[in-house]
Structure 1
Amino acid sequence: MAAPRGGNVEASRSSSKSGEGGWFVTLALGVSLLKCLLIPTYHSTDFEVHRNWLAITHSLPVSKWYYEATSEWTLDYPPFFAWFEYVLSHVAKYCDRDMLKVENLNYASRETILFQRFSVIITDVLFIYAVRQCCKCVTGQKDRCDVLERPGFILAVLLLWNFGLLVVDHIHFQYNGFLSGVMLLSIARLFQKRHLEGAFLFAVLLNFKHIYLYIAPAYGVYLLRSYCITGNNPDGSIRWRSFSILRFISLALIVCLVFAVSYGPFACMGQIPQVLSRLFPFKRGLCHAYWAPNFWALYNVMDKALSVIGVKLQLLDPTSVSAGSMTGGLVQEFQHRVLPSVSPMAALICTFISILPSVFCLWIKQQGPRGFLRCLVLCALSSFMFGWHVHEKAVLLAILPLSMLSVSSAKDAGIYLVLATAGHFSLLPLLFTAPELPIKIFLLMMFTVFSASSLKALYRKEGPLLNWLETLYLYGLVPLEIFCEIAYPLTPWLERLPFIPLLLTSVYCALGVGYAWLRLYIAVFTESAAVKKNQ
């Protein structure tokens, strides 16, 4: 006798879920194996930074953590990350106790390298779990028979195998995967309408790394809009009488309690000013040693070009224009020669103005989790474009959440391809040693090819994702890399002008990142106008 139709449906669903679990586990194990293979590669000064933090938190009392300055790499992350290092240090002592001595500067024994590398790989388990939760948020959209063309599978690859996380965490050395896992899990909880849990996770994240203040406006507005206001007018505008004081208080209590646990011990010791001075060192200058590809990179180049032209036209005193004053690869303050010099307050105002429209759009109309995610990406990207002393690695803060949008909208997929390719390319100079050259090129090519081909297959019925100008720009990265890595080092200019490859990379990638930022804003405004027209 044939089985009931309902039984077949349930069996099919069970088989589908089992299959999805299988490919996800395969992807996770595959990328974990790759991370293990990258252990012997080059590591940057960030490796010594975190080793020193292990030593500080293990060897010194809490009262001295944010005062210790034996090394130039002082503790400058929020308290939760300090406690994270403290916990790791109690495992590290079983590997090599010498790594936990504050005076052992630049210590990198074999045991130390293995411990720190594996600490990043193991803590990435949280990132893997968060990616799984994010994939569930897009499951059911555009279901395809071919697993390789399903949004969930594509998103899993874009996140788990993200080129930026692989090179920054597992070669250069940092803990961005673990922290990104907290962020993605928080986003997933908001998609699942578990608002308090999402707010709690984000508050915890802020106390691990304060760079996530960039996206705090998106969280604040969305939680107030979607959780504290329990009803809306038919046109989507706010009905103030439905504002829930109880929900607002519960939300505020969760956030305040997290901050109290984090900063409470230091407040009791009267150390809050000292902690904040470490977290916000404004004397480091407008740009990092290697310029992030943002607006200030273009601004600096324009000032430099105008200075050279001014000298040629005898409008400026040649002795007052220092060679390489902004391109010497140093972390320092400098004054612009022609254009107005930028202060931390000016950068803050520019950042605030740039994020304001996206936050305003999110507040005015109820847009749901997808609108929140787009606002989050714009907040991250605006802060990257105009923030003070931005690191090039901060572009990942926008690329990772934009991955979720890329599998739900063809327009967002096109923007993602431009931003991810330009943003990831800008990270290549971080790995400047010869053995890592083929590794970084191969990983970037594989990730970019997969991103373009998989998203193109997902939206094959909606036309090309990129126009001819965007395609031409992305292809332009190929000759740029050949020039920077092969051609320029063979020229006699390398000794006189060693900064040229970094300068060209920053400026060219800044054009792509800036273009993606503008396209995201255009998408927000056009969608808002379309919604208003249809009402």
Structure 2
Amino acid sequence: MRCIASTLGEKRCVMAALGGGWFLALAFGVTLLKLLLMPTYHSTDFEVHRNWLAITHSLPVSQWYYEATSEWTLDYPPFFAWFEYALSHVAKYFDKEMLVIQNLNHASQPTVIFQRLSVVFTDVLFIYAVHECCRCINGKQGVKEPLESPQFVLSVLLLWNFGLLIVDHIHFQYNGFLFGFMLLSVARLFQKRHLEGAFLFAVLLHFKHINLYVAPAYGMYLLRSYCFTANNSDGSLQWRSFSFLRLAALGLIVCCVSALSLGPFIVWGQLPQLLSRLFPFKRGLCHAYWAPNFWALYNALDKALSVIGLKYQFLDPAKMPKAAMTGGLVQEFQHTILPSVTPLATLTCTAVSMLPSVFCLWFKPQGPRGFLRCLVLCALSSFMFGWHVHEKAILLAILPLSLLAVERSRDAGVYLVLSTTGHLSLFPLLFTVPELPIKILLMLLFTVYSFSSLKAVFRKEGPLLNWLETIYLIGLIPVEIVCEIVLPFTSWILKFPFLPLLLTSVYCALGVMYAWLKLYVSAFTGPPAARRKEE
């Protein structure tokens, strides 16, 4: 009876948090905030998407991936191109001039309003996906306040995610509805609706191909949990329980979605041109703003060694390649001391760093949560070692990790380290003065809520962070003060304009790498009892 009462109490907590109007209030509140952010600064990505609207609206499909009037050529998969095409038929009622390819950098007020509203409107899918994910989270015993329930905390961590707010609704992109596809596919796998989850992820791949990095997690989990129809009592698998029919169903889904997306370009013989746009390897190892990953540390070490070598005359200045890695530009460059890195080397490092998590998913399954942990590890591995990684890609790990953070204190600690460092590394994206108080306030509010809410959820399980993690996170404050306030008002900024970006990336890279390693330890030391129960 006590167990039943506890279960009913948890269900009432979930209903109060989701069905009692709280979820709608959260969704409405964040939508209102997005509307208030409409007049803020927008980056070159705004012109990128305006140009894609013009390309898809003005040209036949066969010319979409050849058009090069603007430097911001179409480099997303076909489904996203069709998405832009659909938007363009609404955009013409706001301002037809935005749909003229030759109107480069066109940013009239109607154009800005339309583009901003299009991001807000398509976020409806993200809101629905968050609701579905909250339904997959187990309630915690002893939680009496709906606002402290894991479901409510998760809804805030996702809907009000700081990184997603500034990247989509200030900087400008369409990540919200794309993450909606991912989170909805994750929710469907939790609900054992495997084919639907596979379909949603296949569609997502043809919207944004960066999600290929987490495809190994999907492939391994679906193979083990769906294609094998029965497990032995010890958790091992036997090939007689393998269902070729289920494997064929998964293969059919992938093939049909791919044929719908790529079919026309294959027929026209344009697949090589499309792939050259999707995978431009001549953009250099690092993005203009260094992502806080392994290569940021590698670049910084190379730079430090070259400075030391010149100071103590170990190196000949005449024979040194010109340092371009700290110019803040998208370009190829050669390292001075350390071996230069090739795309093949980054691919190898990424694959090797992913393999342990994928093997763990097969040999030490932990149900859907094991899959989710593998997904986050794959995303972090690609972020740490990938070629030309954008700093915004850290959201590919932070958002799914939110689901784990509200259910296990160990994951909550990793989440606090990763989200705090990852979000702060996005600060250089908003470099204009008017946005400085906005990003600081939003970051502060989200971070304070993350720490306080997760502490409330796991109040009986001790501190979420150890002393070393606490000191490191506190260190982010002086780093940010130096980069945002001190250096811009000194003569150093004229001589070393990239220095604030370098300091931010290198310091945050330490936290991201630490979170990656700690999450790996967590994956291999998961509780056996929980593993048996979830399987």
Query: What band does the TM-score fall into relative to the shorter chain?
Result: over 0.9
Letter in 2 for 1:38: L
Is the counterpart of residue 100 in structure 1 residue 99 in structure 2? Answer: yes
Equivalent residue runs for 1:9-24 within 5 Å: 17=15, 20-21=18-19, 22-24=21-23
Structure 2 partner of 1:119: 118
TM-fit CA distance, 1:97:
0.3
Tell me the alpha carbon deviations over residues 431-466 of structure 1, each in whole angstroms, 9 at most, x when there is no partner: 000000000000000000000000001101100000
Structure 1 partner of 2:198: 199
Q: Unaligned stretches of 5+ in structure 1?
A: 1-5
TM-fit CA distance, 1:528:
7.1
Structure 2 partner of 1:463: 462
Given that residues 143 and 151 in structure 1 are in contact (C-alpha distance below 8 angstroms), is that contact kept between their aligned partners in structure 2? Answer: no
Structure 2 partner of 1:3: none
TM-score (norm. length: structure 1): 0.96
Q: Distance in 1 between matches of 2:232 and 2:320?
A: 60
Letter in 1 for 2:472: Y
Structure 1 partner of 2:58: 59
**Structure 1 residues 300 and 482: alpha-carbon distance in aligned structure 2, compared to 1, 3 A threshold:** same
Q: Distance in 2 between matches of 1:149 and 1:13?
A: 14
TM-fit CA distance, 1:145:
1.8
Structure 1 partner of 2:296: 297
Structure 1 partner of 2:408: 409
TM-fit CA distance, 1:366:
3.0
Letter in 1 for 2:15: K
**Structure 1 residues 212 and 12: alpha-carbon distance in aligned structure 2, compared to 1, 3 A threshold:** closer
Structure 1 partner of 2:158: 159
Given that residues 143 and 150 in structure 1 are in contact (C-alpha distance below 8 angstroms), is that contact kept between their aligned partners in structure 2? Answer: no
Letter in 2 for 1:17: M
TM-fit CA distance, 1:364:
1.4
213-222 or 364-373, larger mean C-alpha shift:
364-373
Given that residues 188 and 197 in structure 2 are in contact (C-alpha distance below 8 angstroms), is that contact kept between their aligned partners in structure 1? Answer: yes
**Structure 1 residues 449 and 100: alpha-carbon distance in aligned structure 2, compared to 1, 3 A threshold:** same
Q: Distance in 2 between matches of 1:296 and 1:482?
A: 24
**Structure 1 residues 342 and 530: alpha-carbon distance in aligned structure 2, compared to 1, 3 A threshold:** farther
Equivalent residue runs for 1:340-355 within 5 Å: 340-355=339-354
TM-score (norm. length: structure 2): 0.96
**Structure 1 residues 528 and 280: alpha-carbon distance in aligned structure 2, compared to 1, 3 A threshold:** farther
TM-fit CA distance, 1:13:
6.6
Tell me the alpha carbon deviations over residues 36-71 of structure 1, each in whole angstroms, 9 at most, x when there is no partner: 000000000000000000000000000100000000
What percent identity do the matched residue pairs reach? 72
Is the partner of 1:527 in helix, strand or coil?
coil
Is the partner of 1:476 in helix, strand or coil?
helix
232-241 or 496-505, larger mean C-alpha shift:
232-241
Structure 1 partner of 2:241: 242
Structure 1 partner of 2:229: 230
Given that residues 14 and 139 in structure 2 are in contact (C-alpha distance below 8 angstroms), is that contact kept between their aligned partners in structure 1? Answer: no
Is the partner of 1:434 in helix, strand or coil?
coil
Structure 2 partner of 1:395: 394
Structure 2 partner of 1:453: 452
TM-fit CA distance, 1:142:
3.8
RMSD: 2.0
Is the partner of 2:72 in helix, strand or coil?
coil
Q: Distance in 2 between matches of 1:75 and 1:14?
A: 49
Given that residues 14 and 146 in structure 2 are in contact (C-alpha distance below 8 angstroms), is that contact kept between their aligned partners in structure 1? Answer: no
Structure 1 partner of 2:182: 183
Q: Distance in 2 between matches of 1:15 and 1:176?
A: 31
TM-fit CA distance, 1:365:
3.0
Is the partner of 1:236 in helix, strand or coil?
coil
153-162 or 139-148, larger mean C-alpha shift:
139-148
Equivalent residue runs for 1:421-440 within 5 Å: 421-440=420-439
Q: Give the total of aligned pairs.
A: 528
Given that residues 294 and 510 in structure 1 are in contact (C-alpha distance below 8 angstroms), is that contact kept between their aligned partners in structure 2? Answer: yes
304-313 or 413-422, larger mean C-alpha shift:
304-313
Equivalent residue runs for 1:248-287 within 5 Å: 248-287=247-286
Tell me the alpha carbon deviations over residues 356-397 of structure 1, each in whole angstroms, 9 at most, x when there is no partner: 000001011332000000000000000000000000000000
Q: Unaligned stretches of 5+ in structure 2?
A: none
TM-fit CA distance, 1:233:
2.2
**Structure 1 residues 64 and 454: alpha-carbon distance in aligned structure 2, compared to 1, 3 A threshold:** same
Is the counterpart of residue 77 in structure 1 residue 113 in structure 2? Answer: no
TM-fit CA distance, 1:140:
3.0
